[in-house]
Amino acid sequence: MMFTELPKKNISFKKGKNVTKYVYLAVNRYRNKNGVPTSTEVSIGKLEPNSGLLITNKNFAKYFPEAKYLSQAEFEQIISSKLQVIK
């Protein structure tokens, strides 16, 4: 699994089964023939619920080739710091 920060713009969330949230990127925005705002969205991964980080899929690399991925150690450090805040 590859973890990274969420993109700042053009994203939306959709609920999956249980508590899973999928992250989508709007790649094309337009108005349809009735004048209603519409967008074409592509799934770029899942939201990791404890850290708020993105678990990427192959589409993410296609749209964000320069993205910085977190190492397993960095990810664990973020999780442990969030758990300490909760205590």
Model confidence pLDDT, tens digit, residues 35-70: 999 999 999 999 998 888 999 999 999 999 999 999
List beta partners, residue 55: 3, 46
Residue 40's nearest CA partner among 51, 53, 31 is: 31
Contact 32, 46 (CB under 8 A): no
Residue-averaged pLDDT of the chain: 91
Q: What is the pTM of this model?
A: 0.82
H or E stretch including 72?
helix 72-86
C-alpha triplet 45, 51, 16: angle, nearest 5°: 40
